[in-house]
């Protein structure tokens, strides 16, 4: 595949993953009530996709790149270090973000709307404060999405099938994040268009991350950098799946739905990667 075509496909996949926050905003704006069974299954599905891609594809690709550049034994240690480093990075980011504004502390549309009416101190929040919460959440999600854009672009440029798998996993993960942005802004302003635009803005950080990767990292991209990025992204995705998506999926619906979604996500990724 020519280089220019590889870059184009990598950008398109990153844009697809980023604008999936818009799907979440549509759900939040146009659904009077959240379909908790569907949400539970979808979150489990997203977790299954992330876990399969991380353990079967990303770690394998990362170790192959690192072992080829550093040797088998040093490459194995570098794989473990980058994988654990990715999980630690994800944990630190989550720790630094306040729990309510954290887009990974998932809630239903009703819960977010109720919070906007009642507030933390059992009093009604003013619309200005609720709007600030929504805008702040959009910026927080943008910060989360920026490195995801770098990872998606880099993976897709190196291996299109792997890039498709990562883009799909991140897209599924971005849908509830879009809900987290759109609901407080919509409750505060009553403006569907504004809620949608802020949600999309938070997702556009992923294509910006891709642009950064293309402009800065591409000239220096080698097997070591690529391998470290694959393993670190695997760690980040495993942390998100185990710490956020699976607990949330069990909270929103029947526990079995979460497991069915998890198995479904693994099966979809296993089959699709063989067909790609």
Assess contact for 177 and 23: CB atoms under 8 A: no
109: nearest Cα among 44, 42, 182, 173: 182
What local confidence, expressed as pLDDT, does residue 110 receive?
52
What average pLDDT does this structure show over 8-24?
Answer: 89
CB neighbour list of residue 145: distance below 8 Å, 6 or more residues apart: 18, 174, 177, 202, 203, 205, 206, 209
Rounded Cα distance between 28 and 112, Å, is: 10
Query: Which of 23-27, 141-145, 252-256 is least confident?
Result: 252-256
Q: How confident is the model at residue 94 (pLDDT cuts 50, 70, 90)?
A: confident
What local confidence, expressed as pLDDT, does residue 125 receive?
44
Question: Given the structure tokens 């944990």, which residue do they identify?
Answer: 91
Mean pLDDT of the chain: 78
For 247, how many CA atoms within 13 A lie in the half-sphere containing its CB? 9
What string of DSSP letters covers 190-230? Answer: --HHHHHHHHHHHHTHHHHHHHHIIIIIGGG--HHHHHHHH
Q: Does pLDDT of 242 surpass 60? A: yes
Greater pLDDT, 259 or 111: 259
């Amino acid at each position: 595949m020519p280089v220019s075509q590889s870059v184009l496909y990598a950008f398109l996949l990153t844009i697809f993953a980023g604008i999936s926050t818009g799907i979440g905003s549509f759900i939040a704006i146009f659904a009077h009530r959240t379909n908790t069974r569907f949400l539970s299954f979808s979150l489990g599905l997203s977790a299954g996709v992330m876990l399969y891609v991380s353990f079967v594809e990303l770690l394998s690709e990362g170790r192959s790149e690192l072992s080829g550049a550093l040797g088998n034994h040093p490459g194995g240690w570098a794989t473990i270090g980058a994988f654990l480093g990715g999980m630690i990075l994800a944990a630190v980011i989550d720790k630094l973000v306040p729990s309510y504004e954290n887009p990974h502390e998932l809630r239903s549309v009703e819960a977010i709307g109720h919070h906007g009416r009642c507030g933390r101190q059992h009093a009604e929040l003013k619309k200005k404060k609720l709007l600030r919460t929504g805008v702040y959440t959009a910026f927080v999600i943008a910060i989360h999405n920026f490195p995801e854009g770098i990872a998606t672009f880099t993976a897709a440029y190196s291996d299109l099938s792997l890039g498709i798998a990562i883009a799909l996993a991140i897209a599924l993960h971005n849908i509830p994040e879009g809900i987290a942005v759109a609901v407080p802004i919509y409750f505060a302003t009553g403006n569907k268009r504004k809620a949608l635009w802020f949600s999309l803005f938070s997702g556009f950080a992923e294509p910006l991350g891709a642009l950064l990767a293309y402009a800065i990292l591409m000239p220096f991209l080698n097997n070591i950098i690529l391998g470290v990025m694959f393993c670190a992204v695997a760690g980040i995705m495993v942390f998100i799946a185990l710490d956020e998506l699976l607990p949330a999926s069990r909270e929103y619906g029947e526990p079995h739905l979460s497991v069915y979604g998890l198995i479904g996500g693994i099966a979809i990724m296993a089959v699709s990667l063989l067909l790609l």
